[in-house]
Structure 1
């Protein structure tokens, strides 16, 4: 993820309906199988996904016919252009009639600005992803179309999709600590979050850099029985800001990943397993550590109501939720599948750091009910501690 938006249009031309029908064949395409095999996805998972296509990718013929007459799908994504360039050709091998314009953005540009435009009567994006922090605003605005008629819908666990069918989890992400191995020893890494903010924490006095992203990890603790709202408000958060004295940064998640490398701070939070894994592959001297309970959540995907790409967007989102789409995105950029049948070995990056540990899952109820309460506590403390807006 980059902090400066990068735009890249990747599209393919519409083709005849005959080609469209062939592409919708309910079996894994050769392109998908080759891509998954070349990217070390196990044959067991490939065969499992292949067997699921007859149900999950059984798109109604009239959807495909209508999709072919629509224009390009325009959506903001936190995928890099390189990431998109890997999975998009596999999608288009199945659906060559659907054009995609993927705009790489982060933060407000991805989630807030499209909603503000929608509320003012202008549709600047058709699909919205990773909009968890703004979910209550989307619901209040009644901005999202119903998706529960998608063939792949039932593959999403019930606790990771909307009861009214308006949004679904598209991938699992685990949020922990990145650290500079040259400056932090393993025995300095906290076993629990309580250990991290303790009076004798070796990571206090500015060694940690923190982004203003309470919804990515703090909410998980807020709703966890070992922490809870009262202890978070009265004990944990005061200790985090006052005892730990982290560097409060204006940068987003990308900054938390990159700044430890240049000595801005020793430990960054919150950082996701997929993007951290990518930088680790460069040989950078960084590690990734998960205190317990381990914050994990699912990124959301939805589409705006009254979109001119209604059917194209439904076909695209359905593919994203299918086992084929989930494994292709895992191979392309390390996105952890949310699909209930893909919660198995080989389907998540850096899983050794959190496998077997207590997971603090950020639930939909937590996002809807508890996140506003957390913000009421977090935002004043962040501001009082000198945190940038």
Structure 2
């Protein structure tokens, strides 16, 4: 077909528009730069992230065009509403055509219920985050779409993302003990997890409150060379329940952080570094202590297959995995970056509490293959010793 002068002009204009769009989306926005600077991120890290945007945020123009035609992304998050209110405007400054509703929910509502709905052909959420405890169920249901074509995908370390590209780590979190400083002295704090459950533990007989969250810390010990599945089954877990005799609570992580303040128990576990740091900043009389080896893991993010927000969800997850997105979420809520180029000083809350200590990382193999075995031991012990459903 012969091209007329008018059609040539339109074609050139379209190409120019796409080029402009690509350029805009491959540079750090003024809003992101200002937000990071205002929230204590160093100039060095800001410039590093700004340089990385040229590749990490260079999403295909086709994705942006299709994303603009899709509806609102709906997902459940463990981010507090105040945190979302901080990072969402920064995201929307870059992608104003993508609408997001991020609702703070508990573990079951965030991870279990959306999967049950998906298996019933009723998609109620588009993106899923922090679903580690249900990961085997998601894999069995083949519920997650591939993400390994995201420009920011390679920034996630290989040991913290799925080999088939269906999920990735989005942040690092460290899980230790929160304690009431008015009720617990530093010399009562255990140096190791073995010390916590010892016969002469200063914290036994109900001074510890424990949430039913084995996947957040116990799995790390289960796969650690100093503990292992055999010793966990025959020694550590029986001692945890029968010697330590913790209060077995129905509350989640939020309860473990708040209840020591009102005297329900003296020490809460497991508690994350980011949320605990936020509570400590209020001046509350609490401390945070990490027995060795220190449990650390990475929260996951993925998206459901056949989502009506397929392209907008990919654009959003790509931003979350980029250095810009990682630093914005660090500044907004203390979420530790998982990005391989951001494992540096100043990029995690309360890092001084575990710096130099032995880290027990929860591995992909642990989540996929060892977690069901741990549950086979943990769940009966929890029930037999009076743990609530």
**After TM superposition, is the score higher than 0.5?**
yes
Instruction: Summarize the Cα distance change of 1:310–1:101 in structure 2 as closer, same or farther, 3 Å threshold.
Output: same
Q: Answer yes or no: is the 8 Å Cα contact 2:18–2:61 preserved in 1.
A: no
In the TM superposition, what whole-angstrom CA distance separates every residue of 1:197-246 from its partner, at most 9, and x where no partner exists?
Answer: 11100000100000000000000000000000000000000110111000
Q: Secondary structure at the match of 1:378?
A: helix
Q: Are 1:202 and 2:192 counterparts?
A: no
Match of 2:229 in 1: 229
Are 1:103 and 2:103 an aligned pair?
A: yes
Distance apart, 1:107 and its partner CA: 1.0
- For residues 168 and 22 of structure 2, the distance between their equivalents in structure 1, rounded to whole angstroms, comes to 28
CA distance in 1, matches of 2:38, 2:241: 46
User: Aligned with 1:179: secondary structure?
Assistant: strand
Work out whether residues 20 and 95 of structure 1, in 8 Å CA contact, stay in contact via their aligned partners in 2: no
8 A contact 1:256–1:268 mirrored in 2 = yes
Query: After superposition, what is the alpha-carbon deviation per residue over 1:1-46, rounded to whole angstroms, capped at 9, x for unaligned?
Result: xxxxxxxxxxxxxxxx889927843111100000000000011100
Partner SS, residue 175 of structure 1: strand
- So what's the TM-score if we normalise by structure 1? 0.95
Superposition pairs of residues 89-100 of structure 1, within 5 angstroms: 89-100=89-100
Report matched runs for 1:235-246 at 5 Å: 235-246=235-246
Q: Which runs of 4+ in 1 moved over 6 A?
A: 17-20
Please say if 1:48 is aligned against 2:48. yes
Which residue number corresponds to residue 380 of structure 2? 380
Counting only pairs closer than 5 Å after superposition, residues 50-89 of structure 1 correspond to structure 2 as 50-89=50-89
Aligned partner of 1:10 in structure 2 is none
Count, aligned residues: 373
Partner in structure 2 of residue 112 of structure 1: 112
The equivalent of 2:134 in structure 1 is 134
Aligned to 2:5: none
Counterpart in 2 of 1:294? 294
Q: Is the 8 A contact 2:22 2:58 kept in 1?
A: no
Question: Which residue of structure 2 lines up, in the alignment, with residue 164 of structure 1?
Answer: 164
SS state at 1:307 partner: coil
Hey, what's the Cα distance between the residues in 2 that align with 1:104 and 1:234?
38
1:220 counterpart SS class: helix
C-alpha contact (below 8 Å) 1:26/1:58 kept by paired residues: yes
Q: What CA distance in whole angstroms lies between the structure 2 residues aligned with 1:381 and 1:76?
A: 30
C-alpha RMSD over aligned residues: 1.2
Provide the residue aligned with 1:5 in structure 2.
none
Which residue does the alignment assign to 2:285? 285
Match of 1:370 in 2: 370
Answering whether residue 154 of structure 2 is matched by residue 154 of structure 1, we say yes
Distance 2:20 2:117 in 1: 33
Cα 1:148–1:22, aligned 2, differ >3 Å: closer, same or farther? closer
Q: 1:20 and 1:374, CA in 2 relative to 1: closer, same or farther beyond 3 A?
A: farther
Structure 2 match to 1:121: 121
Distance 2:74 2:362 in 1: 28
Asked if the contact 1:23/1:96 (under 8 Å) is kept, the reply is: no
Aligned to 1:256: 256
| CA deviation profile, 1:275-330 (whole Å, cap 9, x unmatched) | 00010011000000000000000000000000000000000000000000000000
Distance in 1 (CA, whole Å) between partners of 2:298 and 2:162 is 12
1:352 aligns with 2:347: no
Query: 1:161–1:167: 8 Å Cα contact kept in structure 2?
Result: yes
- Unaligned runs of 5+ residues in structure 2 are 1-16
Contact 1:197/1:239 (<8 A) preserved: yes
Q: Is the 8 A contact 2:22 2:61 kept in 1?
A: no
Hey, what's the Cα distance between the residues in 2 that align with 1:207 and 1:25? 52
The DSSP-based 3-state class of the residue aligned with 1:225 is coil
Per-residue deviation, 1:385: 0.4
- Stretches of structure 1 lacking an aligned partner (at least 5 in a row): 1-16
Describe the SS at the equivalent of 1:348.
coil
Aligned to 1:310: 310
Q: Which has the larger radius of gyration?
A: 2
Task: Give 1:187 deviation, angstroms.
Answer: 0.5
Q: Give the drift of 1:151.
A: 0.1
Equivalent pair of 2:168/2:302 in contact (CA under 8 Å)? yes
**8 Å contact from structure 1 (residues 24, 95) kept in 2:** no
Distance in 2 (CA, whole Å) between partners of 1:105 and 1:80 is 9
Find the counterpart in structure 1 of residue 193 from structure 2.
193
